[in-house]
Each structure stands twice: as structure tokens, then as C-alpha cells.
């Protein structure tokens, strides 16, 4: 329902469905044009789950955002729409 792209400068762009904050732009608004995932330092890779995103920074730190209804962000909590 959404897509991510890592740019050569390490930023991440996203577009598509966003009802759980899965685009990481701080909203739940569907986007037909790419928006920047906010709050990320330089990223080396990015992946998409069904309703969430995961990025690994160039220093090896893992960030997640979007749905966390089943603990998919891996931080021991259950909540949504937070960059962890």
C-alpha cells in the first residue's frame, strides 16, 4: 500500500497509503507524490512492512515508524504513528 525510496544522499522518500503513519511524514494523509520520511539521519537501507517502515542508518541504528498495533516496531510497546 506504500513505497519507499532511499536517495543517494541517504534521505528516504515515501508515497501511498498512510492511515497508520506508515509514510513517516508525521501525518496519516495518503500521498500520491513522494514526501520525505522525517526524523531520520542518513540511511543505508529502507524496507516496507504492510503498515510500517524500517530503516537502518549508515551508523547501524534501526528506526521504525507507522503501525505498532502488534509490537512490530520492536521497542516493547504497542502504539502507532511514532518514529522509534
Q: Which of 12-16, 42-46, 72-76 has the lowest mean pLDDT?
A: 72-76
* C-alpha–C-alpha distance, residues 78 and 20, integer Å: 13
Whole-prediction pTM? 0.86
What's the mean per-residue pLDDT of the chain? 91
Instruction: Looking at 1-84, list the stretches that DSSP marks H as alpha helix, in order from N- to C-terminal side.
Output: none
* C-alpha–C-alpha distance, residues 37 and 61, integer Å: 16
Cβ neighbors of 8 (< 8 A, separation 6 or more) are: none
Residue 54 has pLDDT above 90, yes or no: yes
- Position 56 scores a pLDDT of 97
Q: Which of 84, 73, 71, 83 is nearest to 24 (CA)?
A: 83
- Position 68 scores a pLDDT of 87
Q: How many CA atoms lie within 13 A of 26 on its CB side?
A: 4
Amino acid at each position: 500500500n506504500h513505497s519507499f525510496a532511499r536517495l543517494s544522499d541517504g534521505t528516504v522518500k515515501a508515497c501511498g497509503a498512510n492511515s497508520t503513519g506508515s509514510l513517516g511524514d508525521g501525518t496519516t494523509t495518503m500521498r500520491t507524490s513522494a514526501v520525505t520520511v522525517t526524523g531520520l539521519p542518513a540511511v543505508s537501507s529502507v524496507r516496507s512492512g504492510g503498515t510500517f517502515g524500517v530503516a537502518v542508518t549508515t551508523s547501524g541504528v534501526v528506526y521504525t515508524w507507522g503501525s505498532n498495533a502488534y509490537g512490530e516496531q520492536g521497542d516493547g510497546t504497542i502504539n502507532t504513528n511514532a518514529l522509534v
